[in-house]
Structure 1
Amino acid sequence: MIKKLDSGRWQVDLWTNGRGSKRVRKSFASKAEAKRFEAFIESQRAQGQEWNPGTLDKRTVKDLIDLWFNAKGVHLKDGERRKRALEAIADSMGNPIGRKLKPSEFLAYRAEKLEAGASAKTMNNHLGYLNAVYNQLGRLSEIDFENPLKHVEMIRIDEYELSWLTIGQIRHLLDSIERASENPHVHLLVRICLATGARWGEAESLLLRHVRNGKVTYVKTKSSKSRSVPISDDIFSELTDHLKKYKRFSSSINALRRAIRRSGIELPKGQSSHVLRHTFASHFVMNGGDILTLQKILGHSTIMMTMRYAHLAPEHLFDAVKYCPLNAVG
């Protein structure tokens, strides 16, 4: 039975194998989550298995992944992709009993993947995915044992280089696109990213209804929060006319990569489009822009992400001269 509590949560109250068997009472934030849990208990009953999150828990890692997905993953933008990655991890480790998973099993999996060429960042992501499964199920009382990987440390990774373009490089890139690119969108997309700090995918997703009152509004962003950024009259007019003509932008990332190669501008690996976002942020700060305002423009969920640009602030650079120890030496 599912009922709504006075607190607003939804409670599942049932017997795992008919009256007189183990009784389960659990509450959930939504009715949909309660229904999924009820369906899981019914499926366990149909298989002749009684739900028991205690010490006799014989559910495999993949069973726990399924539970996590129904409770949390289904609501995530990348939930399906993350579930596939988790299942592949579980298979690589032999899909052990979830409560018996040993740190050494994950470490062996990680070492094998690193040797095969996987990046440290990817392996940190995989550890984070597994931690999220155990921690979420623990919060929901689906398991009553500790996360077996809680003491496994992430691989320490050097902070990646934030590359940005100079004014001369910006002019050179735009000239290169204008002269040689046959793509009708890439020149405008580059300027939108440089004008608003947008991610490339956000700029490509703009539709006419997102361009109003001198602003562009980015929706379905990485943080899941919409944000609006003012743009100049010239870009507003050009963008409006462009979207009236073409309706939408087509994928133009390859055109941008070709233009960067033609320009001869050297960038760190993987920053072909993100360099435009870094360039906006870097010049914003160097020209005296406020970090908190920049956070809102970029849509960062935490100020720590934005603080990566703080060292470019004019006052920061001045302080390096003002407070260096050589001043006391004379």
Structure 2
Amino acid sequence: MASLKKRGRAYYAQYYDNGKQKRVNLHTESLQVAKEKLRQIESAQFREEEIPLTTKTPIGDILEKYIKYKSGHSRDKNIPKINTYLRGAFGPVCEALQVRNQAIAQKAVKRPSAGSASIISISHIEHLSAEVLSTFLSELIKDKRVSPRTANHYRQTIVTLCNWAQREGGVRFPGGKNPVADVKCYKVPKSMITFLKLKDIRTQLDVLANDTQLQTMVAVFIYAGLRREEALWLTPDDFEWSMGNHGVIMVRGKTIDGKTWMPKTGEDRPVPISKTLREYLDSYREIRKPGTWFFCAPRGKQWDPDNFSELLRESSSKHGLSWSCLDYRHTFGSQLAMKGESLYKVSSLMGNSPEICRKHYAALMPESLMESVEFPTDEMPSPTSAVSQSSAEPPRRGFLKLVVNNS
């Protein structure tokens, strides 16, 4: 049997090996971690040199390494999101999590809060546990009143961090497994998608008639189903005007001015241009100024996504409209689904998986499924004939004859 000893703030494991007493420094100040290490020693009867002692990694050091790793493996726009969740969970405990934009920092300080939810205050990442994370998420929902969806984002960010730390960061957690992997996700209420009906499409495009570029951009979202950034990254070379009936938009990755962009799924896709959309595009091409971007900002540069959304919101709100780029994209998928197009085709055009399209648009296809429940009737036997056949006497089999071979 092994026992725990404490010297100062450090814990030791004391046990006997071949009759000799040994004492091993467990390199932890946490009683919970020390008990787990002691359990490993007792259950597997490890020798001193074989004891899989956990590491002792400062939380700031591992976060600094992780953010550097993510900067080279994630899309540029995802890095600030990851940093925001890590900063909200652990605080600015390393240089990478410091807020450098003072305007944003002051805005965050002045923003009213519904409570004072604490951060995960640990000195070493090995101190993370399911209980610590679960408590933190509960406080987020209770004190800061974040949504279950946001709480799940925090959970997934920390689970992914621990997976990387164990796989590539040189961290060994107690028990040899991710300590927060068993924390359950919160249930997120299903939200209904919003989209424009045919009369709404006409209303939306008509109110933008005085701004040809903005009107054409909204038409691209509605009639081609592009994501916001997919449209903002379009160049003149992405349009194949002679392909198909009315042309094709090539949604594809590119590198411009040293900045690389890829579609959300990482795969390029062609989107046919409809007759209606072609009319808007032709009108816009007549006034478009030469430049790198097909849709450029007022100073000729690429649109910032948030600035574009703000301009669109202001233009539409003047007429009492509040639809967003996501609503326009859902309009494309919804209208095709209601027309009876297969969800596989819709998913291919939108750059989504068939499962995502089924989740969003399957409920919009009831009319196209009405005839699917009918069985063919021309060659199907009636119930009475089926009964009469089953009750009829089965045909007699012929008698067997014995054949003798005398040879």
User: Aligned runs of 1:13-162 on 2, under 5 Å?
Assistant: 55-77=53-75, 78-79=78-79, 81-91=81-91, 92-114=119-141, 115-140=143-168, 142-144=170-172, 145-162=176-193
> Which of 191, 200, 204 does residue 228 from structure 2 map onto?
200
State the partner residue of 2:364: 312
Quick one: distance in 1 between partners of 2:364 and 2:164?
39
| Equivalent AA in structure 2 for residue 169 of structure 1 | D
Letter in 1 for 2:309: I
Cα distance per residue 1:165-208 (max 9 Å; x no partner): 111111111111225xxx45210001011111011222122111
- Describe the shift of the 1:299–1:242 C-alpha distance in structure 2 as closer, same or farther (beyond 3 A): farther
| Structure 1 unmatched ranges of 5 or more | 1-52, 324-330
Shift of 1:315: 4.9
1:260 to 313, 316, 322: 316
Alpha-carbon distance change, 126 to 217 in structure 1, aligned in 2, over 3 angstroms: same
- Relative to the length of structure 1, the TM-score reads 0.70
Q: 2: CA distance between counterparts of 1:316 and 1:98?
A: 54
In the alignment, structure 1 residue 224 sits paired with structure 2 residue 254 = no
State the Cα deviation string for residues 145-168 of structure 1 (Å, max 9, x = none): 311111211111112220011111
Distance 1:136 1:276 in 2: 37
Report Cα offsets for 1:9-54 as digits up to 9, x if no partner.
xxxxxxxxxxxxxxxxxxxxxxxxxxxxxxxxxxxxxxxxxxxx95
1:239 deviates by 5.0
Q: Distance in 1 between matches of 2:130 and 2:321?
A: 44
| 1:237 pairs with 2:282 | yes
Of 201-210 and 105-114, deviating more is 105-114
Aligned to 2:219: 191
Distance across 1 between alignment mates of 2:330 and 2:354: 15
Name the structure 2 match of 1:14. Answer: none
After TM superposition, the runs of 4+ consecutive aligned structure 1 residues lying more than 4 A away are 70-73, 239-247, 314-317, 319-323
Relative to 1, partners in 2 of residues 1:322 and 1:266: Cα closer, same or farther, differing over 3 Å?
farther
**How many Å separate the matches in 2 of 1:163 and 1:54?**
54
Give the TM-score taking structure 2 as reference length: 0.58
CA 1:239/1:210 → structure 2, altered by over 3 Å: closer, same or farther? farther
Paired letter, 1:279 = T
In the alignment, the residues of structure 2 paired with residue 163 and residue 101 of structure 1 have an alpha-carbon distance, to the nearest angstrom, of: 40
Q: Which residue of structure 2 aligns with residue 283 of structure 1?
A: 335
Preserved contact between residue 286 and residue 313 of structure 1 (Cα < 8 Å): yes
Letter in 2 for 1:218: V
SS of aligned partner of 1:149 = coil
Which region of structure 1 is more displaced relative to structure 2, 248-257 or 199-208?
A: 248-257
How many Å apart are 1:241 and its aligned residue?
4.2
Distance 2:281 2:349 in 1: 17
**Greater Cα shift, 157-166 or 206-215:** 206-215
Distance 2:64 2:156 in 1: 17
Contact 2:212 2:284 in 1 (8 A): no
Show the counterpart of 2:204.
173
Paired residue total:
263
- After superposition, what is the alpha-carbon deviation per residue over 1:212-247, rounded to whole angstroms, capped at 9, x for unaligned? 242112232222322221113434534544544465
> 1:199 & 1:292 partners in 2: Cα distance?
18
- Structure-1 separation of matches of 2:128 and 2:155: 13
Structure-2 separation of matches of 1:200 and 1:222: 11
Contact 1:54–1:143 at 8 Å: present in 2 too? no
Amino acid at match of 2:202: R
Q: Deviations over 1:237-293 (max 9, x none)?
A: 3454454446532243223213432343466xxxx2210000000001111112111
Aligned partners of 1:208 and 1:244 also within 8 Å: no
1:285 is paired with a residue of what secondary structure?
helix
Could you tell me how far apart the structure 2 residues matched to 1:241 and 1:314 are?
Answer: 42
Secondary structure of the corresponding residue to residue 226 of structure 2: coil
Distance of 1:148 and 1:319 partners within structure 2? 52
Structure 1 counterpart of 2:388? none
Paired residues of 1:164 and 1:276 also in contact (CA < 8 A): yes
Q: Which runs of 5+ in 2 are unaligned?
A: 1-50, 92-118, 242-246, 253-261, 298-302, 376-407
Q: Which amino acid aligns with 1:89?
A: A
Structure 1 residues 173 and 160: CA distance shift in structure 2, 3 A = same
Give the greater-gyration-radius structure (CA). Answer: 2
